Amino acid sequence: MDLGSVQSVAAITSWSFRKGHRGAQKVALYGSASVVDPGWDLSAYTPLGMIDTTDLSQATYTAASLRALDGQTIGQFRWIVWAVSPVTAAGENSAFQELAVELR
């Protein structure tokens, strides 16, 4: 996701739908403050965190969020990447419905 300019990021959130077993989320989050598009090479990004809901009970919708403490930020970034991993034995990824970045 291109935020257009370097911004203070307070939260990164994703929502998924339980289509079969694809409601779980397995995501590594990355950010970059690069002025130009850093492309898809994740070594050009700062690792921010990982979310894995595959061992949790699955509701119809799943929300997962990496959030800063109140009044703080995750960091200053222009580019955010959700690097997803399969969540089913068949190699399917999450059925994502929405991706969002909350700014401070």
State the Cα torsion 45-94-72-32 to the nearest 10°: 20
Residue 41 has pLDDT above 80, yes or no: yes
Q: What percent of the chain has pLDDT over 90?
A: 86
pLDDT in tens, 72-82: 999 999 999 99
CA-nearest of 82, 73, 79, 68 to 32 is 79
pLDDT in tens, 45-66: 999 999 999 988 778 999 999 9
29 — phi, psi (to 5°)?
-105, 140
Domain-by-domain residue ranges, the chain? Answer: 2-103
User: pTM of this prediction?
Assistant: 0.91
Q: So what's the pLDDT on residue 57?
A: 76
CA-nearest of 65, 99, 54, 64 to 81 is 99
Q: So what's the pLDDT on residue 58?
A: 76
